[in-house]
Amino acid sequence: MILVITETKLTAPGKFNPASLEAVAAAQQLGAALQLPVAAVVLGADDAALAGELATRKLAKVVRLQNPALGAYNPDVWVQSLVQAVSQLQPRYVLFPHTYQVRDYAPQLATRMAGALISDVTGFRVENGQPIFLRPMFQGKWAAEVAFTANSAPGFLTVQIGAFRGDQAEAGAAAAPLETLAVTPGPSPLHAGEVFQEAKQAVDLTQAPIIVAVGRGIKEPKNLDLVRELAAALGGELAASRPICDSGWLPMDRQIGSSGQTVAPKLYLAVGISGAIQHLVGMKGSRTIVAINKDPEAPIFEVADYGVVGNLFDVVPALVTALKNQA
Amino acid sequence: MTHPEMQADVVIVGAGPAGLACALHLARLLDARGLSKENIYVLEKGRALGAHQLSGAVMDPRGLEELEPGFAGDPELGALPVKDDALLVFTENHAVRSPVTPPPLHNHGNYIVSLNRLAQWLGAKVEALGVNVFTSFAGRELLFDGPRLLGVRTDDKGVGRDHQPKANFEPGYDLKTPIVVFAEGTRGSLAKQLLGHLRLGGENPQVYSLGVKEIWDLPAGRFPAGRVYHTLGWPFPTDLYGGGWIYGLRDNQVSIGLMTALEYRDPATDPHNLFQAFKTHPFMRELLEGGEMARYGAKTTPMGGWYAHPPLAGDAWLIVGDSAGMVNSQRLKGIHLAIKSGMLAAESVFETMTGQGSLRGYPAKVEASWVREELWKVRNFHQGFEHGLWAGLFHAGVQQVTGGRGLRARYPSQPGPARMRKLGTLGDPPLMTPPDGKLTFDKVTDVFHSGTRHEEDQPCHLLIAEMDICNERCVREYGNPCVSYCPASVYEMVIGDDGAPELHLNPSNCVHCKTCDIMDPYANITWVPPEGGGGPSFG
């Protein structure tokens, strides 16, 4: 038998990780080539919906693992539960989608079961009845052929995302039988903290009509509030040149220039930015450029439509006051 | 952390002229015997073949003609025969054409080539023979068992600035191999690790020059393609070794550049700025008037000659090309020597793989070849200039009539930074040429024109052993020469939180010239390759 361990973790509200179905497609193709039945395992919170979805596919069965501890992800709980499931179901191969969660627990599971893990599988072929798997090396420049040695049962495989098509996961003639399997993971010293928020959508400065960008002239991070206030008064987004983001005073997704974003807003206000060419290429397409800099020779003035030669610590507060009075 | 392990037959580190010549010649030798080339790996840190290749470059055809007879007729390579040449002596306001071009600077029969294009051209031939060239993969460290070299580890991908793996993390590969060919070019970081680990070195220390170069688009007819000028004199004082070049390329382009010996006394010496000054010479100003700067690059060149060669081979390794210091510093040529040394190394590797010999046979091959014949005649040339231009010209003359010997068998030498004087022991600091944005440029503008790109979120690839040395000692003793010698504004002094100056690094500006690794007076800076694929895009 071939077992697919799916992931119930949603990628968006109500949306299963499509990688689970891709892994099912991979398992079905492998099963067809080796004449082995395929079963799916579902574990984790909200597993019923995914189990229902999987039951429509061409699978020998869908097994839901049951234990209250499976409500929240914990690598110890996952590994111990899956050791029990795999031991009981006795598959020849165990496939996973190559998700972050799988990368976290699959190596441990394989080690615990004295099995080998082939990660990031992109395809396979069968030679003398034995499957030979392909996995990328050297960042995809090569596909290495890897096979399990005869005694390394079961063989664990993670399937690279996008290598198989989820919509090619075959539908079954009839609903696959649903089974439940009670597992008894032991206590874990790990306890879940707050769920890690994956990096928020980077600020899309390219859509901002007004950008107030700050450079090294601001001198110290605490002075950034001054420019923040100006951005707020103008209703614009705050951005920066490389030294500011490099020093960690603002996040890197606020960086304008050759190693950051390229923008062309209606108004670009450059505060304390000298205008190295690396910065200019990221903003010179702006409709109106206003520069404030104390050095009249600063190259920023070559691209500016309006320039203020002066100390930003005088000019910016005056601008903020003027804008507030106007409002 | 575990690294996936792979067994290789040969690992060649670096896809420049030496490494590619080695790979190509070896592949052909193996083909002739029907042997497998499958497990030969060429590692190249640049994101594409040729991306990190920089030279003037006028090439003596001798090496390439042996490797690829008839190369000159191949339009894909586009080698341009030198049509005329001259030596110009610059004084502050005049350029005097030397009535005779000294024989070493005769370039008839030589070719102007793009080193970048040469690497692409050779690399395509290597790949066509089925040898794996892995661009964007740097040799990051060596694997040893005691003194025994076991292989090469490639760079980790996807490590953040905080040294933690990122979502795209991929560990480097451990390439286990009986044979490593070090072809990393000038000041190879792995060759340095190898020689350091085994405590090996040449009879003389290696010394270097830094070449700073721009390619300009000129009005049509200004400077003919195939013309080669070298310059001596201004802006260098006579105690500073260096010279300039102007090479006429196709399509109304010129390659102009200045080589500054990294053996200067004044820590405020700034080779990039000297090059800017060079362009303000009336001769250069007139040449460049109405033109536009198109490309920029900088690279060091080993100049120490024969006595500065490190041992060239061990049981499991060979060193070729610039990594071995195979440059004729009198003729300012090394590409032909790089190619030849790569071919000789290939023969040694082949003999080792087929049980007919060992890698230890390679130095004898070099000895018996025209590489030695050529370099032996100039074995003391560069060291003769240790005490300035006039003494140097005298020694060069004596060496000319004594077959390279000069006044003693081996002229001694000291490492470049050992000559650097402390602050306050010299007169006024050198005059700086301010950038005007048309003829002269600041470093960051030039860096922009080198096409340099690095992943910003990665550990700094310039390892500072002790930051306190920079911020407390060096600032007092030498005034942080890194800020001056770096041609890419990687190093700057900024005012820290406590109001005192402190060193700040911009590693993503780095054009991979290696000057900092060479020239730091405390040897406090170690250059290691950044994540593979990062760096300049010379072309």
B455 CA to chain A: closest CA distance, Å?
9
The residue ranking higher by pLDDT, B358 or A100, is B358
Arithmetic mean of pLDDT over chain B: 95
SS (HEC) of chain A? CEEEECCCCEEECCEECHHHHHHHHHHHHHHHHHCCCEEEEECCCCHHHHHHHHHCECCCEEEEEECHHHHCCCHHHHHHHHHHHHHHHCCCEEEEECCHHHHHHHHHHHHHCCCEEEEEECEEEEECCEEEEEEEEHHHCEEEEECCCCCCCCEEEEECCCCCCHHHCCECCCCCCEEEEECCCCCCCCCCCCCCCCCCCCCCHHHCCEEEEECHHHCCHHHHHHHHHHHHHHCCEEEECHHHHHCCCCCHHHEECCCCECCCCCEEEEECCCCCHHHHCCCCCCCEEEEEECCCCCCHHHHCCEEEECCHHHHHHHHHHHHHHHC
Dihedral of alpha carbons A283, A287, A291, A295, sign: positive
Q: Strand locations in B225-266, DSSP E?
A: 227-233, 242-248, 253-261
Predicted confidence (pLDDT) at residue A200 exceeds the cutoff of 70 = no
Of B126, B113, B153, residue with least CA distance to B40: B126
Averaged pLDDT, B475-497? 94
Least confidently predicted of A226-240, A303-317, B375-389: B375-389
Residues 458 to 517 of B: which have CB under 8 A from any A CB? Answer: 506, 508
What pLDDT is attached to residue A46? Answer: 80
Spell out which residues of chain A touch residue B508, defining contact as CB-CB under 8 Å. Answer: 259
Spell out which residues of chain B touch residue A254, defining contact as CB-CB under 8 Å. Answer: none
Averaged pLDDT, B421-435? 90
- Which tokens in the block code for residue B246? 């102007």
What pLDDT is attached to residue A199? Answer: 56
Residue A197 confidence class, pLDDT cut points 50, 70, 90: low
Nearest by CB to A138, which of B134, B506, B508? Answer: B134
Residue B111 burial (CB count, 10 A) = 22
Nearest by CB to A259, which of B437, B445, B508? Answer: B508
Nearest by CB to B136, which of A139, A252, A277? Answer: A139
Above pLDDT 90, what percent of chain A? 70
Least confidently predicted of A192-206, A238-252, B8-22: A192-206
What pLDDT, in 10s, does the model give residues A125-181?
Answer: 999 989 999 998 887 778 899 999 876 679 999 999 888 998 889 999 889 999 999
Spell out which residues of chain A touch residue B167, defining contact as CB-CB under 8 Å. Answer: 100
- Helix B335-353 to helix B17-32 angle (10° resolution) is 40
0.95 exceeded by pTM: no
What pLDDT is attached to residue A201? Answer: 53
DSSP β-bridge partners for residue B209: B261, B301
**Is the minimum CB–CB distance between B434 and chain A shorter than 8 Å?**
no
Q: Return the residue matching tokens 């340095």.
A: B192
Predicted confidence (pLDDT) at residue B79 exceeds the cutoff of 60 = yes
Q: Cβ separation of A252 and B136 shorter than 8 Å?
A: no
What pLDDT, in 10s, does the model give residues B142-164?
Answer: 999 999 999 999 999 999 999 99
Predicted confidence (pLDDT) at residue A103 exceeds the cutoff of 80 = yes
A174: Cβ contacts below 8 Å, ≥ 6 apart: none
Amino acid at B203: E
User: DSSP assignment, residue B150?
Assistant: E
What pLDDT is attached to residue A194? Answer: 79
B444 CA to chain A: closest CA distance, Å?
7
Above pLDDT 70, what percent of chain B? 100
Give the residue on A whose Cα is nearest the Cα of B456. A259
Mutation test of the interface with chain B: which of A244, A277, A280, choosing the one with the most B Cβ atoms within 10 A? A277
Residues 85 to 104 of B: which have CB under 8 A from any A CB? Answer: none
What pLDDT, in 10s, does the model give residues B210-251?
Answer: 999 999 999 999 999 999 999 999 999 888 889 999 999 999
Residues 99 to 138 of B: which have CB under 8 A from any A CB? Answer: 132, 134, 136-137
What pLDDT is attached to residue B34? Answer: 95
What pLDDT, in 10s, does the model give residues B502-535?
Answer: 999 999 999 999 999 999 999 999 999 999 999 9
Distance CA A103, CA A101 (A): 5
Q: Return the residue matching tokens 């067994």.
A: B7
What pLDDT, in 10s, does the model give residues A52-79?
Answer: 989 999 999 999 999 999 988 999 999 9
**Is the minimum CB–CB distance between B453 and chain A shorter than 8 Å?**
yes
ipTM for the predicted complex: 0.77
Q: Cβ separation of A142 and B132 shorter than 8 Å?
A: yes
What pLDDT, in 10s, does the model give residues B349-395?
Answer: 999 999 999 999 999 999 999 999 999 999 999 998 888 888 888 88
What pLDDT is attached to residue B237? Answer: 87
What pLDDT, in 10s, does the model give residues A106-126?
Answer: 999 999 999 999 999 999 999
Spell out which residues of chain B touch residue A139, defining contact as CB-CB under 8 Å. Answer: 136, 157, 170
